[in-house]
């Protein structure tokens, strides 16, 4: 789904990051740093982000390179409608969610995101899907590899209302989903798949 240049640049960055973490040889450090700079130049050449900004982003990464984790909540009311929020950054609708926090279990991270974006208290009931973002047509592309964890969640309290990062909150039926979906965050087929999991709780977790 993603362009080859992005896949190659990300792989170069990951090799460089891991190499700089473990090498004890000063010449190898120079080689890995050059590899990291090359990955940054490739991304800058094919994107709207300037080279120094990308290289700074890469320099900040340390340790063994692994995918980053995004969590998404599929929160259903008793009438079968799913919770969606309009994001402040792009003005489009998404399932509530965001980056998982360090030292926080995924189920707690996704509950926190719902609280911050929709003012509702929820409990994660089921891990419905683990999607590799790079295998799906999300836009725009990300400089790092991302896994997306989708949870079915139950409402336990609160009243639906926007938070600091959202402008609207709503519940939508499967055949009434908004057209302006934030495809960088969630895809229409992923939302529809959550409806299927909601209707059939015994479905196994989707992956890849």
Write the pLDDT tens digit of every residue in 178-194. 999 999 999 999 999 99
Is the pLDDT confidence value at 38 over 90? yes
Q: Please tell me the distance from the alpha carbon of residue 118 to that of residue 107, in angstroms, as a whole number.
A: 16
Q: Is the pLDDT of residue 17 over 90?
A: yes
In this structure, of 15-24, 25-34, 39-48, 178-187, the range with the lowest mean pLDDT score is 39-48
Average pLDDT, the chain: 96
pTM: 0.85
Any idea which of 5-9, 19-23, 45-49, 130-134 has the lowest mean pLDDT? Answer: 45-49
**Burial letters 71-89, b for 16+ CB under 10 A, else e:** bbbbbbeeeebbbbbbbee
Q: What percent of the chain has pLDDT over 70?
A: 100
Stronger pLDDT, 51 or 202, i.e. the higher one: 202
Interval 47-64: pLDDT, tens? 888 888 898 989 989 899
| CATH number for the segment(s) 68-207 | 3.90.79.10
Predicted confidence band at 146 (pLDDT cuts at 50, 70, 90)?
A: very high
Please check whether residue 45 is in contact with residue 55, taking contact to mean a CB–CB distance below 8 angstroms: no
The domain segmentation of the chain, as residue ranges, is 4-59, 68-207
49, 191, 91, 125 alpha-carbon torsion, rounded to 10°: -100
- Cα 37 to Cα 128: distance, rounded to the nearest angstrom: 38
- Residue 1, pLDDT > 80, answer no
Residues 10 and 142: their CA atoms lie apart, in Å, by: 9
């Amino acid at each position: 789904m993603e362009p080859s240049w992005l896949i190659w640049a990300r792989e170069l960055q990951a090799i460089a990051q891991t190499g700089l973490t473990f090498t004890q040889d000063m010449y190898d450090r120079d080689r890995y740093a050059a590899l990291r700079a090359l990955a940054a130049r490739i991304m800058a050449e094919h994107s709207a982000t300037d080279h120094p900004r990308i290289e700074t982003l890469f320099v900040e990464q340390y340790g063994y390179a692994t995918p980053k984790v995004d969590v998404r909540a599929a929160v259903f009311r008793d009438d079968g409608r799913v919770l969606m929020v309009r994001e402040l950054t792009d003005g489009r609708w998404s399932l509530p969610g965001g980056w998982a926090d360090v030292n926080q279990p995924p189920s707690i991270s996704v509950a926190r995101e719902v609280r911050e974006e929709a003012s509702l208290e929820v409990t994660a009931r089921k891990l419905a899907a683990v999607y590799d973002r790079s295998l799906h047509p999300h836009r725009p592309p990300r400089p790092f590899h991302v896994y997306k964890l989708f949870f079915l969640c139950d409402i336990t309290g609160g009243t639906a209302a926007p938070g600091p990062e959202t402008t609207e909150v709503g519940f939508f039926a499967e055949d009434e989903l908004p057209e302006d979906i934030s495809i960088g965050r969630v895809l229409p087929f992923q939302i529809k798949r959550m409806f299927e999991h909601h209707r059939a709780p015994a479905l196994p977790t989707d992956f890849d």
